[in-house]
Amino acid sequence: MSLILNQIRKAYVTPTGAAQVILDIPAFSLDQGEQVALVGTSGSGKTTLLNVAAGITTPDSGTVTVGGVEITRMLEPVRDRFRSERIGYVFQTFNLLGAFTALENVLLGMSFSSQPANRHLAIELLGRVGLGDRLHYRPSQLSVGQQQRVSVARALAKTPRLLLADEPTANVDGPNQQAILELMQTTCRENNVTLLLVTHTSEVASQFSRVERLASFNQAATSTSTPYSMGVN
């Protein structure tokens, strides 16, 4: 599915009560099947952009169109279902369910998608991220890097049409970083899945033919001191 952000503005209220514009993006888009690395300084709004693209965060104005469908027009429950069925998301904080094992987390992710839960695929993906011997461990029994790999397996297992990944290799060692990246890129290429991946690592970014620096298309980077009323164009 293609991803099109048009005239997106998003501001947050700071602890002093002022509004701070985080995103002011006239246009940003990915074609179906395209793979893009998104880079930018800490706090510049990369996660906010992914959350807006996923329909988790509602922009103050502008439109998000995913696979030709304008998700910003959807009611929240409809958008939640659309995301569950078609968008994979490797969260920076993983968002694994603590009461469930690695395998159950992946199966649960699948059960929210339009695909039937496929235990064989779940086990295969956990094996491919190097966790074949950790299937029945709960998140608290896994290292941070292992939890991150469960999160990658969960996002891929639902065979999404758009995959958003927030620094998916930030907590793993070099060989695992390469294996995870290759798995994500290959799976996306084979299934024509659009991939938008946030990274801080030039080594990771260099493996993408298209690398976008948030500051180059986000006007908020230079206009955060401009007065701004929330929700007003």
Binding site for ligand ATP (CB under 6 A): 12, 22, 40, 42-48, 92
Q: How far is the CB of 166 from ligand ATP (least distance, A)?
A: 7
Q: Which pair of structure tokens corresponds to residue 58?
A: 């509602």
In this structure, are residues 117 and 111 in contact, taking their beta carbons and an 8 Å threshold?
yes
In this structure, are residues 205 and 181 in contact, taking their beta carbons and an 8 Å threshold?
no
Q: Residue 9: what residue type? A: R
DSSP label at residue 71: G
| Cβ-based nearer residue to ligand ATP, 3 or 157 | 3
| Cβ-based nearer residue to ligand ATP, 43 or 116 | 43
Q: How far is the CB of 136 from ligand ATP (least distance, A)?
A: 31
Distance CA 205, CA 185 (A): 12
Token match 């049409």: residue?
161
| Cβ-based nearer residue to ligand ATP, 48 or 147 | 48
Q: How far is the CB of 44 from ligand ATP (least distance, A)?
A: 4
Q: How far is the CB of 42 from ligand ATP (least distance, A)?
A: 3
In this structure, are residues 25 and 217 in contact, taking their beta carbons and an 8 Å threshold?
yes
| Cβ-based nearer residue to ligand ATP, 21 or 131 | 21
